[in-house]
């Protein structure tokens, strides 16, 4: 039986219930994080917690725990579930309130911590690379819903994922309002050409991914040049290698976009080097549970 943290208590999954009047459910009003732990160590926990509090601040949501308390609650929930490796979902909802959009009538945010496992893509995709399709759903621009906020409003991403799946692809490429590459439905995107790595800047509508930041650090460590620069679909069609990063996906090669074969059509040598180093780092660094 899974153990869930809910508003200060660790309870059985069957008892982890939220009100139908929670504004997280009624309006998608809230924020979340997806975090992985490997070998009893939580990968980049402080960075995830920081992004969670940044997301909450941006939407005027007061989390009823300090970041240190959130870290302690997260580790306690992992221990209660007895897993060595897994996935953590932190969800902060606006809490219970009357009907009506106003968050000011919701006295207290709810804190939910789920510890589970996650696997996004097939073994085949990890071995040979995944297929992408460009989605017609765009990433909302900074004046609509900040793409930097990891909010509970994922319907745009869900619809983009549906489009990709209906096109026979495993992941969807999402463009911004200018038609430039933002990211994927739940992953950041990188391309390599002539040994140089490029990823869209946060201003292009990319979530400031924690895995993205880890890969930027790995490239620096390995001496592979990297820049954050705008990319068009053409840049992806004509790259030598392409890969995606995300907590759920980890690092995975993408070998097709819109029926174009990317590079050789196999995970490339630089991508493989980065994946190997990523695997080493996740198993040996991180906050001990
Ligand atoms: N872009 C978006 C829109 C995301 O939601 C990423 C990029 C990658 O960021 P991180 O920090 O994880 O490297 C995400 C994160 C899921 C799931 O359930 C999705 C994410 C994370 C965990 C689980 O599909 N996306």
Shared domain for 152 and 275, answered yes or no, is: yes
Shared domain for 164 and 280, answered yes or no, is: yes
174 in a structural domain: yes
- For ligand 1, say whether the CB of 197 is within 6 Å of any of its atoms: no
CA distances from 161 to 90, 153, 191, 235 (A): 22, 14, 21, 22
Other CB atoms closer than 10 Å to residue 206's CB: what's the count? Answer: 24
Q: Is the pLDDT of residue 120 over 90?
A: no
- For ligand 1, say whether the CB of 210 is within 6 Å of any of its atoms: yes
289 in a structural domain: no
What mean pLDDT do residues 61-80 have?
A: 98
Mean pLDDT of the chain: 97
Shared domain for 32 and 56, answered yes or no, is: yes
Shared domain for 280 and 226, answered yes or no, is: yes
**What local confidence, expressed as pLDDT, does residue 77 receive?**
98
Percentage of the chain lying above the pLDDT 70 cut: 100
Number of domains in the chain: 2
Q: How far apart are CA 156 and CA 174, in angstroms?
A: 10
Closest ligand 1 atom to residue 51 Cα is: 11
Please report, for the domain that includes residue 55, its CATH number: 3.30.470.10
Shared domain for 82 and 181, answered yes or no, is: no
Shared domain for 159 and 280, answered yes or no, is: yes
Percentage of the chain lying above the pLDDT 90 cut: 98
What mean pLDDT do residues 32-55 have?
A: 98
Domain boundary among 87, 116, 145: 116
112 in a structural domain: yes
Shared domain for 103 and 173, answered yes or no, is: no
188 in a structural domain: yes
Shared domain for 131 and 271, answered yes or no, is: yes
**What local confidence, expressed as pLDDT, does residue 83 receive?**
96
Shared domain for 129 and 268, answered yes or no, is: yes
CA of 118 relative to ligand 1 center, distance in Å: 12
Domain boundary among 116, 136, 170: 116
Quick one: 83 exposed, middle or buried, by C-beta within 10 A (0-12, 13-18, 19+)? middle
Shared domain for 78 and 146, answered yes or no, is: no
CA of 211 relative to ligand 1 center, distance in Å: 9
- For ligand 1, say whether the CB of 171 is within 6 Å of any of its atoms: no
- For ligand 1, say whether the CB of 34 is within 6 Å of any of its atoms: yes
Which residue shows structure tokens 């995970």?
267
Domain boundary among 116, 135, 167: 116
**What local confidence, expressed as pLDDT, does residue 84 receive?**
96
Shared domain for 91 and 183, answered yes or no, is: no
Closest ligand 1 atom to residue 247 Cα is: 12
What mean pLDDT do residues 262-275 have?
A: 98
CA of 86 relative to ligand 1 center, distance in Å: 15
Q: How far apart are CA 232 and CA 173, in angstroms?
A: 11
CA of 207 relative to ligand 1 center, distance in Å: 8
Closest ligand 1 atom to residue 34 Cα is: 22
Domain that residue 37 falls in: 3-116
CA of 208 relative to ligand 1 center, distance in Å: 10
Q: Which residues, 6 or more positions from 114, have their beta carbon under 8 angstroms from its beta carbon?
A: 2, 4, 88, 89, 91
Catalytic residues: 150
- For ligand 1, say whether the CB of 151 is within 6 Å of any of its atoms: no
Shared domain for 105 and 217, answered yes or no, is: no
CA of 248 relative to ligand 1 center, distance in Å: 6
Question: Nearest residue CA, atom 4 of ligand 1?
Answer: 186
Quick one: 122 exposed, middle or buried, by C-beta within 10 A (0-12, 13-18, 19+)? exposed
39 in a structural domain: yes
Question: Nearest residue CA, atom 9 of ligand 1?
Answer: 209
Please report, for the domain that includes residue 149, its CATH number: 3.20.10.10
The predicted-structure confidence for 150-191, as pLDDT tens digits, reads as follows 999 999 999 999 999 999 999 999 999 999 999 999 999 999
**What local confidence, expressed as pLDDT, does residue 23 receive?**
98
From 173, 175, 205, 209, the mutation candidate for ligand 1 (largest count of ligand atoms within 8 A of CB) is: 209
- For ligand 1, say whether the CB of 135 is within 6 Å of any of its atoms: no
Closest ligand 1 atom to residue 185 Cα is: 3
Alpha helices by DSSP H, listed for the chain, are 23-27, 45-58, 67-81, 123-128, 155-166, 210-222, 233-237, 269-284
Q: How far apart are CA 239 and CA 198, in angstroms?
A: 10
216 in a structural domain: yes
């Amino acid at each position: 039986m899974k153990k869930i943290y809910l508003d200060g208590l660790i309870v059985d999954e069957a008892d982890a219930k939220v009100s139908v009047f929670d504004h997280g459910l009624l309006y998608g009003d809230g924020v979340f994080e997806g975090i992985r732990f490997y070998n009893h160590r939580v990968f980049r926990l402080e960075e995830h917690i920081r992004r969670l509090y940044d997301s909450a601040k941006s939407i005027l949501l007061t989390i009823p725990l300090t970041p240190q308390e959130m870290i302690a609650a997260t580790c306690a929930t992992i221990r209660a579930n007895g897993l060595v490796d897994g996935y953590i979902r932190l969800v902060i909802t606006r809490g219970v309130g009357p009907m009506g959009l106003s968050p000011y009538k919701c006295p207290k945010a709810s804190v939910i911590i789920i510890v589970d496992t996650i696997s996004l893509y097939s073994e085949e995709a990890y071995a040979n690379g995944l297929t992408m399709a460009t989605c017609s759903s765009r990433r909302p621009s900074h004046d609509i819903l900040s793409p930097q906020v990891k909010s509970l409003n994922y319907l745009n991403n869900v619809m983009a994922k549906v489009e990709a799946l209906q096109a026979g692809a495993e992941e969807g490429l999402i463009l911004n309002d200018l038609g430039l590459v933002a990211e994927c439905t739940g992953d950041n995107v990188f391309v390599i050409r002539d040994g140089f790595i490029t990823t869209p800047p946060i201003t292009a509508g990319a979530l400031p991914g924690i895995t993205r930041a880890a890969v930027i650090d790995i490239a620096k460590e390995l001496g592979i040049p990297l820049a954050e620069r705008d990319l068009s679909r053409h840049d992806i069609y004509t790259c030598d290698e392409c890969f995606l990063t995300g907590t759920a996906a980890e690092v995975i090669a993408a070998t097709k976009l819109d029926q174009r074969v990317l590079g050789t059509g196999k995970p490339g040598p630089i991508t493989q080097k980065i994946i190997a180093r990523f695997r080493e780092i996740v198993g040996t660094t991180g906050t001990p549970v």
